[in-house]
Amino acid sequence: MTTTELPAAAAGELTIGGDLRVRRMGYGAMQLAGPGVWGPPADPGAAIALLRRAVELGVNHIDTSDYYGPHVVNELIAEALHPYPEDLVIVTKVGARRTPDQGWPAALSPDELRRAVHDNLGRLRLDRLDVVNLRIVAEGGGLSPSDSIATQVQALAELREQGLLRHIGLSNVSVEQVEQARSITPIACVQNEYNVLRRRDDALVDTCAREGIAFMPFFPLGSFTLQHDSATGADTKVPQSSPLRDDAVDDIARRHGATAHQVALAWLLARSPAIACIPGTSSIAHLEQNIAAAAIRLTAADQHDLATAPARG
C-alpha cells in the first residue's frame, strides 16, 4: 500500500473534549520554524506545501504554538490552510515565550496567558481556539511538577467562559497537577513526553483512557533537552540522540519492512485508544512515512518484545 492510498482513518479516531473528532495520526508543526525553532524556515513555500499535503493525506489534527518561531509557525499554518477545513482541529499551547537570545522562559502569569491566547487567535485567524494546552515550564522562574497550577488553570477557564477557547488541556505536567486541574475545570487532553522507550507516564496514559481524556505524547520519535549558555544566560532547546535506538525496535521494523520510527508510532497507537500521535517533520517524505505507520498492525509477539524492552525514563 502506498501512502497516497492510505485510508484517512487507518489509525482510527478519538474524541477530544467530547466533541472534537480527530484521526489518531496528526501532525506536530514545531519543526516548520528555522533551526532551534527560531525564525522562518529556509523555504517557506516548502513548509506551506507540507501542511497542505498533510491535510490531503487525511490529517485533521495539527499541534502548534505561537511561541514556535516565535509567531512563524502559526502564520504559516494560516497562510497554508485558512479558511480551514471544517473538520480541522488546531491544538495550541501557552505557558512559555521566546527571548531574543532564543531562550524558552516561562510565561505563566494570568496576564501572560491571556496575551498568549489572543496572540494565537490573531495569527491563526480564528475567533475561537479549539484546544489550548497549558504548558508547565520550570525555566525562567516557572513552575515545577510539584507546584500548584490552580491560578493558571483558572485563568484559562475564564477565557473559555468568554468564548475564546473551546477546551483546556495540560502539557508537561505531573499526575498531581492533572488531578488539581480537573478539580477546577474539565481537562480535554494531556500532552507529556512519552514514547516506546520513555514510559514513565504509563499510569497516566491508563488514567486518561479511563477518564476519556486524550493523551498526545510529545517527542514520540526523539527528545530535546535545554542547554544553558553560561555566558548569555540563555536556555536553548537542542535535539538529543533518538531514544528509539533499540534492538527490539529495529528487529520489529525489519519484520514489517518499516522504519524504527514507524514502529514507534504504531506502538503508540496500539498502546492506548486514548493516544493521538503528533509527530513533527519538515519533510514531505517523512510526513508520508509517519502517516503510513498508522497502517502497521503490530502482532502480539511484537508488542511483547517492545513491552519488555528496557525503558529509559
Instruction: Report whether 295 contacts 10 (CB < 8 A).
Output: yes
What is the gyration radius of the CA atoms in the chain, in angstroms? 18
**Concatenated DSSP letters of 191-227:** E-B-BTTB-TTHHHHHHHHHHT-EE--BSTT--EEEE
Residue with cell 487532553: 189
Instruction: Give the catalytic positions in this structure.
Output: 68
Closest CA to 14 of 131, 161, 125, 173: 131
Closest CA to 114 of 177, 57, 157, 143: 157
Neighbours of 45 (CB within 10 A): 9
29 vs 265: CA distance, rounded Å? 17
CA torsion 293-297-299-303 (nearest 10°) is 40
Q: What cell numbers appear for 48 in the block? A: 506551506
Q: What cell numbers appear for 149 in the block? A: 497550577
